[in-house]
């Protein structure tokens, strides 16, 4: 174990993807409205409305946006959204940018010996596409996606990562930008850390009672008590 880990109270850090690692709102907003149009529905949603459902699994998200539409419509919109994103990807869609400090922070945590994971409402294909595009895949040992897990805020994504890693909830932290992330983490018994630069505002996040707040991803190593950055392989003084 790296000497930086001596004071760190965590072994496992679980990250949300959209709104936490990547600034994805614009693409999700466009995808939602393209799906609506593809299904012949005239209603269009604002970025603020779509921000409220980022992080949920697709069908759950459409159910929140259109609560009276019914399951068949939600399922059709889910399929249409996926088809629109496949089309955009085939046309060379640009992946959403990383938030400032994300790459350096992941490098720091990984080098210090922390186990890193992702829990996201995306599909595995969508997650892998973005991680590969940004060359981030090697940082993450475990992944949970909407393909195989219930939608947030159900705790299954986190509890499965804990089970797969063999690590304890007491030494794990969930980092995310939505109250869905905070509630999922709390239900799973892990520490929660809300980032303030993503999709849900501080007022909404506060209602989920996060244990910690993060205004910039680059501040996470200090929050984790990793201590001063060291050259990898150099013993501490």
Secondary structure letter of residue 22 according to DSSP: B
- Asked if residue 12 lies in contact with residue 191, where contact means CB atoms within 8 angstroms, the answer is no
Q: How many whole angstroms separate alpha carbon 19 and alpha carbon 138?
A: 20
Nearest by Cα to 198 from 13, 21, 4: 21
pLDDT for the residue numbered 234: 33
The listed range with the strongest mean pLDDT (136-140, 145-149, 231-235) is: 136-140
Sorted by where each begins, the domain ranges of the chain are: 3-23+98-223, 25-90
Q: Between 3.40.50.970, 3.40.50.1000, 2.40.50.100, 3.30.70.100, what CATH number should domain 3-23+98-223 receive?
A: 3.40.50.1000
Q: What strand order describes the sheet that includes 191-195?
A: 142-144, 115-119, 12-15, 172-176, 191-195, 212-214
Strands 142-144 and 115-119: parallel
pLDDT for the residue numbered 33: 95
Say whether 7 sits in a helix, a strand or coil: helix
Give me the mean pLDDT over the 47-67 stretch. Answer: 95
Q: pLDDT tens-digit profile of 89-141?
A: 777 666 899 999 999 999 999 999 999 999 999 999 989 999 999 999 999 99
Q: pLDDT tens-digit profile of 151-166?
A: 999 999 999 999 999 9
- Asked if residue 161 lies in contact with residue 139, where contact means CB atoms within 8 angstroms, the answer is no
Q: Between 1.10.150, 3.90.550, 2.60.40, 1.10.10, what CATH number should domain 25-90 receive?
A: 1.10.150
Q: pLDDT tens-digit profile of 4-16?
A: 556 899 999 999 9
Measure CA of the first residue to CA of the last residue in the chain; give whole Å.
16
pLDDT at 74 over 50: yes
Q: How many whole angstroms separate alpha carbon 153 and alpha carbon 229?
A: 34
| Mean of pLDDT over the chain | 92
The listed range with the strongest mean pLDDT (26-30, 86-90, 140-144, 227-231) is: 140-144
Q: What is the pTM of this model?
A: 0.90
Angle CA 55–59–63, to nearest 5: 95
């Amino acid at each position: 174990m790296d000497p930086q880990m001596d004071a760190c109270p965590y072994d496992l850090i679980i990250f949300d993807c959209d709104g936490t690692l990547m600034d994805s709102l614009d693409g999700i907003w466009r995808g939602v409205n393209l799906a609506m149009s593809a299904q012949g529905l005239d209603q269009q949603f604002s970025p603020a409305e779509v921000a409220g459902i980022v992080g949920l699994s697709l069908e759950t998200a459409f159910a929140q946006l259109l609560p009276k539409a019914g399951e068949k419509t939600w399922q059709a919109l889910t399929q249409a959204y996926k088809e629109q994103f496949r089309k955009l990807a085939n046309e060379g869609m640009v992946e959403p940018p990383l938030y400032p400090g994300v790459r350096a922070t992941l490098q720091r945590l990984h080098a210090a010996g922390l186990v890193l994971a992702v829990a996201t409402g995306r599909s595995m294909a969508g997650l892998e596409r973005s991680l590969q595009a940004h060359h981030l895949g090697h940082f993450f040992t475990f992944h949970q996606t909407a393909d195989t897990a219930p939608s947030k805020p159900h705790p299954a994504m986190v509890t499965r990562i804990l089970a797969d890693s063999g690590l304890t909830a007491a030494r794990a932290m969930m980092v995310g930008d939505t109250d869905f992330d905070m509630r999922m983490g709390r239900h799973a018994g892990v520490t929660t850390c809300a980032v303030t630069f993503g999709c849900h505002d501080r007022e909404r996040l506060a209602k989920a009672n996060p244990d910690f707040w993060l205004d910039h991803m680059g501040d996470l190593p200090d929050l984790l008590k990793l201590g001063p950055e060291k050259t990898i392989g150099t013993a501490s003084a």
